[in-house]
Amino acid sequence: MGARYFGAAVRRREDPRFLRGEGRFVDDVTLPGLLHAACVRSPHAHARIRSIDAAPARAMPGVAAVFTHADLARWLKPLPLFGAAPPGLAAAVRFDVRQAPQLALCKDVVRHVGEIVAMVVADSRARAEDAAEAVAVEWEPLTALTDMVAAGEAGAPLLYPEWGTNVAVGFSHAIGDAERALAAADVVVEETFRIQRYVGMPLETRGVVAQWDRRDGTLTTWNSTQVSHFVQQGLVAALELPPHKIRVIAPDLGGGFGTKASGYPEDVLVPLAARALHRPVKWIEDRREHMMAAAHARHQTHTIRLGARRDGTIVGLADRIWLDLGAYNVWGIVLPYNTVAHLIGPYRIRDMTVDVKGVVTNKTPNAPYRGAGRPETVFAMDRAVDCLARRLGVDPADLRRKNYIRTDELPWDFGMPYRDGNPLVYDSGDFPAALESALAAAGYDAFRREQPALRARGLWRGIGISGYVEGTAIGPFEGAHVTVDLTGRVRVATGAVSSGQGHETSFAQVAADALGVPLDWITVVGGDTAAVPFGVGTFASRSGVTAGNSIADAARQVRAKLVAAAAALLEAAPDDVDIEDGKAFVRGAPASAVDLGAVVQASIPTFARPGVATPDFEASAYHHVPTVTYASAVHVAQVEVDPGTGAVRLLGYVVAHDCGKVINPTIVEGQVHGGVAQGVGGALFEEMVYDAEGQLLTGTLMDYLVPSATDLPRIETVHLEFPSPRNPLGMKGLGEGGAISPPAAIANAIDDALAPLGVRVTETPASPARVLALIETRRP
Amino acid sequence: MTSRTVRLRVNGVIHAVTVEPRRTLADVLREDLALTGTHVGCEHGVCGACTVLWDGEPVRACLLFAIQLDGASLTTVEGLADGDRLHPIQEAFWAAHGLQCGFCTPGILLTAKALLDENPQPDEQEIREAIGGNLCRCTGYHFIVDAIAAAARRRTSS
Amino acid sequence: MKPAPFEYFDPRTVDEAVALLETHGDDAKVLAGGQSLVPMLALRVARPAVVIDVNRVAGLDGLRQDGATLSVGALVRQRALERWAPERAPLLGTAIRHVGHAAIRARGTVAGSIAHADPASELPALLLCLDGSVVARSRRGTRTIAASEFFQGPLTTALAADELVTETRWTLPPAHAGWGFREMARRQGDFALVGVAAVVTIARGVVASARVVIFGAAPTPLRARETERALTGQAATATVLADAAQRATAGLDAVSDIHAPAAYRVSVTRTLAARALADAAARARETA
């Protein structure tokens, strides 16, 4: 079996349609008789619904229906919840978890601005919006909880009175004895770091199109989702239909980033409307809705203590962590525990204690977004390390050199589980090598030498480092199905969903190698529940490992079937038959080569003869991935600060990363760039802002600042390759990594630039106003 | 609202469409002319996904009402390729991995075309400024800038 | 985000346009470039019953310089002025490149930005700095409104509901004048958190005249009169310039929003004033 394509920088096969504007995104799906939906959303952060009068709306031109909870009560089950602790984790950590049900249409109470109260369906989106305005809702506003720390204290008003608390996820955990270690430390730094609420903000908003077929009682729905099988499962419950009667198709996605990997009310509302009306229904989220209704993310506060000996050896840490979960705890232990599992990162630390409170507030629910807790936790840790370096009077690079886990110390067993319940053990990588590579590529030493002269010239430039170790490719599996057709061409179907990662190319590369066919013989179909019965979806940097290995498994099985049939056709022993370049041949006898299409056709019975073999050239595979595999990286950022305005300019950015064996290096590099760009957004620009009444102040892209081309420098990527021992392809996940370290690296660089003033950046985004305020309090 | 019939010349072909005043050019291109390559990302003029060319200049299709454009000459992304042959800018993006999800791509391609038509030899800063009004959430702009620079070099060498 | 329904008119002459404005007044909005209006319609924060599209009105696209006066017809696009300005009005050319992005400037009009009067936008500030005026027509006649009278508050001007801007007029600084333009925005093309535009003339080492305008910091663009007073007639030294810049915030009632608190705007006003004045002094050419 060849490795002709694996590792090759093949240009992407899906590109021509996107370049031509012929992609098919959910809003490009059009059906005869299509109706359009618009939602009536709560303007209040917390309110009781006294009454809803939809009659004026129903009377408006073009309106087909207005649905409130009362109209669909029979079908509205609580929306899916995630994040229960797997057995291995629940055995080690005592979680206090509370999850309240959320209904697709609010019945009595709304708990965040943007929650849906009614859905209007009309002959155009514009007329649906006109009618939505005419739905008369009588509200009784209630007190809104907006401060997670205050809401997490005893005595705070309760969002869910039956809980007796607003802490939806509470736990403590320790390894070693951090308090003893900190008490014995020569130096302890303590600081509170605030990471803001910021979000995925894919350029394409969400959308759902649903079509009900009365003839055979089936539903087809196109949904801009990263998790078609999860959506299907949700519809099984809502529609009370078996899965094979529900087809969920994820079309081309204009970005996902985790925002489209959550379960949403519209997933079920649009299909319910289509079935009730016997007309296809389309709902396309507009940007204003997206800001208030699509999942929010991040939003953590860490009060961290980090202790060290005078020689720079870090001896222990304690961290109190708050997460603002929004109005519903949709994701259970996922974000809080991810945060804890990634706190220590590449550092040699055996003594850690954490106290975690995930608190509900009257805001849009929080869900995993590119990094999912890791950027926040790395910010706390790497900022604390730099504060420690400053206290000890050592260079932050040297402090990391001293404390990074070395390769001879791997595998490194933390003595606690990962989120999947299996032991958290770093399996591979070379963190010191990543550090040295990143520093060298960034010209760190030369920068340090020049820095005093730059300062003397009035240039406030700084350099900052951050590194992470990331559990990637969470399991437990991904579905893949491979089949060969009458001409020898191949269809690969998988539960993975591409939202820009280039699956149609990278998975074809894997399959082509495993089968022995040319790359362009392969078509990859993702995210269609009709094409592969069991699947999970794309998030958590998992699809290369999970789908890649399943595809390889299934393709190998198909190859074996082709070899057997070809052997029968060629009257040779299977062991003597090979497949290469789409042809089967007897090894050593090139003239025997026969096209795979001919092998398939020869297996089909005719009147004259039976087939040479059963014409079964398909296979499914669900490669078991019990636990994650560890990718890692070090980032170095260079900034220049304008001390008169607080403006931070990014001069350069370097990433030295290991993501194991790589299918397509160019796709990998693009993923790193994109992740870094989002991390830069979090470091300097992006913030979802609520006021004290729970009103969302950042309601459009005029206020939520996505970085543009003039805000980002070129990004230099250094590739390291330490194959994963945990899957046959040796791969690790990489989609999220780029987004993890930028806030820490950039904040470290800002502190470094302003070192003569002793400024300490403790919250992001490091906006000009915040940076200038720090400067002005320190300037003599 | 009184509808009106307007004639739009899109990619060289004249279409007559009857439109209500409040329908944007973006929606009319997508729905009435089935030219879905122009994408809608924000409907308030910030993201640039809806960018088309009007007499060769980039404009936001979400900020124009189709009823305003009687007689206008427009280029959408569908007008770039010549049958099977991709436009050199499209080729450059393909070669440089200048796209990931593809949602921002049509707007960026047209903006790049307008840039190179006016300034055939832009430096990196000029390229970044020219696409500064086109948001991309996937690429970090790195390979997009490379693609446009490559397209510029190809133009001058051909 | 689809607009609420509206009636649409596209008059061909100024007379037709102002007749429509007289009839519909407060229920109507003028559509020129649309770069500010259409988002408001999409968000339904503006819901006029009538939209008067003036893009086909004849005679409003002239760009004419007569001595020191630049007359800009109401339909002149920002991009057109941007292309005209670099040699002939470099302050204007520089400032206008901060307005949004090329696609916005392709449609946005100079007059439209001024009539919209966003306190954080560049063109209203430049009109004030360059001693400009707005020519407005209605059925009641024509009047010229000085920039100093025109801007009354955020998005609020002296225009009556039945008036249409037909032209803006600008007084171009003399060739020997020095100019400075500094803006602080979150990203390139965004509205300014703070901006300063300055024009000075220097004769025999003494500041002969100074006009300094601050924008983005207050509900309207403002002349920094204390700064101007501290400069005029003084030696054009670094100390004088720096001291004058500190006075730019005298009487400034700065605004706070989610991007910057008032204190930030106050501080940065001084900083940008200092930089803009230094630039202006460096560019100014001596006259005897």
Which residues of chain A make contact with B41, given a CB cutoff of 8 A? 203-205, 254, 287
Which residues lie closer than 8 Å to A270 by C-beta, 6 or more apart? A37, A208, A209, A210, A221, A281, A282, A283
pLDDT of A2 reads 60
Whether residues A271 and A302 share a domain: the answer is no
From the list B22, B47, B94, the residue facing A15 with the nearest CB is: B94
How far does B145 lie from chain A, in Å, by closest CA? 8
Whether residues A534 and A432 share a domain: the answer is no
Q: Hey, what CATH class is B88-157 in?
A: mainly alpha
Pairwise CA distance, residues A488 & A474, whole Å = 34
**Which CATH architecture describes the domain B4-79?**
Roll (3.10)
Whether residues A283 and A391 share a domain: the answer is no
In sign, the C-alpha dihedral spanning A656, A659, A660, A664 is: negative
Rg (CA), chain C: 19
Tokens coding C124: 């209203």
Which of A599, A621, A643 corresponds to the end of one domain? A621
Which residues of chain B make contact with C82, given a CB cutoff of 8 A? none
Contact call for B2 and C7, based on CB within 8 A? yes
Predicted model pTM: 0.98
Q: Is B129 on the interface with C (CB under 8 A)?
A: yes
Contact call for B143 and A678, based on CB within 8 A? no
Task: Give the burial class of A51: count Cβ atoms within 10 A of its Cβ; 0-12 exposed, 13-18 middle, 19 or more buried.
Answer: exposed
Contact criterion met (CB below 8 Å) for B139 and A257? no
Whether residues A310 and A450 share a domain: the answer is yes
Judged against a pLDDT cut of 60, whether residue C122 lies above it is answered with yes
Per-residue pLDDT of A341-381, as tens digits, reads 999 999 999 999 999 999 999 999 999 999 999 999 999 99
Contact criterion met (CB below 8 Å) for A112 and A326? yes
Contact call for A19 and B35, based on CB within 8 A? no
Edge to edge, what strands does the sheet with A314-326 contain? A96-97, A167-175, A352-360, A314-326, A298-308, A187-197
ipTM over 0.90: yes
Alpha-carbon separation of residue A122 from A34, A262, B43 (angstroms): 9, 27, 20
Which residues of chain A make contact with C261, given a CB cutoff of 8 A? 769
pLDDT of C288 reads 47
Domains by residue range for chain C, with CATH? 7-53 (3.30.43.10), 63-171 (3.30.465.10), 179-283 (3.30.390.50)
Percentage of chain B beyond pLDDT 70 is 99
Pairwise CA distance, residues A514 & A562, whole Å = 12
Q: Is A534 part of a structural domain of the chain?
A: yes
Which residues of chain C make contact with A460, given a CB cutoff of 8 A? none
Which residues of chain B make contact with A18, given a CB cutoff of 8 A? 99, 101-102, 105
CB environment A287-305: b (16+ within 10 A), e (fewer): bbbbbbbbbbbbbbbbbbb
Angle between helices C238-246 and C262-283 (to 10 degrees): 150
Instruction: Determine how many CB atoms are found less than 10 A away from the CB of residue A156.
Output: 16
Q: Which of C6, C12, C38 to mutate to test the interface with B (most CBs of B within 10 A)?
A: C38
From the list C188, C263, C272, the residue facing A710 with the nearest CB is: C188
Q: Which of A20, A127, A501 to mutate to test the interface with B (most CBs of B within 10 A)?
A: A20
From the list B20, B42, B103, the residue facing A254 with the nearest CB is: B103
Peptide bond into A411 cis (omega under 30): yes
pLDDT of A780 reads 60
Q: Is A192 part of a structural domain of the chain?
A: no
- What residue ranges of chain B are covered by domains with CATH 3.10.20.30? 4-79
Q: What is the dihedral of CA A158, A162, A165, A167, to 10 degrees?
A: -100
From the list A24, A254, A676, the residue facing B101 with the nearest CB is: A254
Whether residues A348 and A282 share a domain: the answer is no
From the list B4, B68, B130, the residue facing C102 with the nearest CB is: B130
How far does A644 lie from chain C, in Å, by closest CA? 6
What CATH code is carried by the domain that includes residue A491?
3.30.365.10
Whether residues A688 and A748 share a domain: the answer is yes
Tokens coding C6: 């509206």
Which of A621, A646, A663 corresponds to the end of one domain? A621
From the list C38, C103, C189, the residue facing B58 with the nearest CB is: C103
Whether residues A615 and A636 share a domain: the answer is no
Residue-number span of the structural domain to which A758 is assigned: 298-474+626-777
Which residues of chain B make contact with A676, given a CB cutoff of 8 A? 140
Tokens coding A745: 């690296």
**Strand pairing report for A629-641 and A460-472:** antiparallel
Per-residue pLDDT of A698-752, as tens digits, reads 999 999 999 999 999 999 999 999 999 999 999 999 999 999 999 999 999 999 9
Task: Give the burial class of A100: count Cβ atoms within 10 A of its Cβ; 0-12 exposed, 13-18 middle, 19 or more buried.
Answer: middle
Tokens coding A91: 């055995």
Whether residues A282 and A328 share a domain: the answer is no
Which of A621, A653, A673 corresponds to the end of one domain? A621
Whether residues A470 and A583 share a domain: the answer is no
E strand residue ranges, B2-155: 4-10, 13-19, 51-54, 57-60, 73-75
Pairwise CA distance, residues A417 & A10, whole Å = 38
The arithmetic mean of pLDDT across residues A606-623, rounded, is 97
Per-residue pLDDT of A657-711, as tens digits, reads 999 999 999 999 999 999 999 999 999 999 999 999 999 999 999 999 999 999 9
Per-residue pLDDT of C1-28, as tens digits, reads 999 999 999 999 999 999 999 999 899 9
Whether residues A418 and A447 share a domain: the answer is yes
Whether residues A614 and A681 share a domain: the answer is no
Backbone φ, ψ for residue A184 (5° rounding): -85, -5
Pairwise CA distance, residues C231 & C212, whole Å = 10
How many Cα atoms sit within 13 Å of A324 on the Cβ side?
A: 28
Instruction: Determine how many CB atoms are found less than 10 A away from the CB of residue C15.
Output: 12
- What residue ranges of chain B are covered by domains with CATH 1.10.150.120? 88-157
Pairwise CA distance, residues B30 & B35, whole Å = 5
Judged against a pLDDT cut of 80, whether residue C286 lies above it is answered with no
Contact call for A708 and B47, based on CB within 8 A? no
How many domains does the structure of chain A reveal?
A: 3
Judged against a pLDDT cut of 60, whether residue A73 lies above it is answered with yes
In whole numbers, what is the pLDDT of chain C averaged over residues? 97
Q: What is the dihedral of CA A248, A249, A253, A255, to 10 degrees?
A: 30
Q: Is A194 part of a structural domain of the chain?
A: no
The arithmetic mean of pLDDT across residues A431-451, rounded, is 98
At C287, is the pLDDT very low, low, confident or very high (cuts 50, 70, 90)? low
pLDDT of A778 reads 86
Contact call for B128 and A710, based on CB within 8 A? yes
Chains touching chain C through at least 3 C-beta pairs below 8 angstroms are A, B
Chains touching chain B through at least 3 C-beta pairs below 8 angstroms are A, C
Q: Is A287 on the interface with C (CB under 8 A)?
A: yes
Judged against a pLDDT cut of 50, whether residue A588 lies above it is answered with yes
How far does B139 lie from chain A, in Å, by closest CA? 4
How far does A99 lie from chain B, in Å, by closest CA? 32
From the list C2, C258, C267, the residue facing A776 with the nearest CB is: C267
Q: Is A396 part of a structural domain of the chain?
A: yes
Whether residues A645 and A536 share a domain: the answer is no
Which residues of chain A make contact with C271, given a CB cutoff of 8 A? 644-645
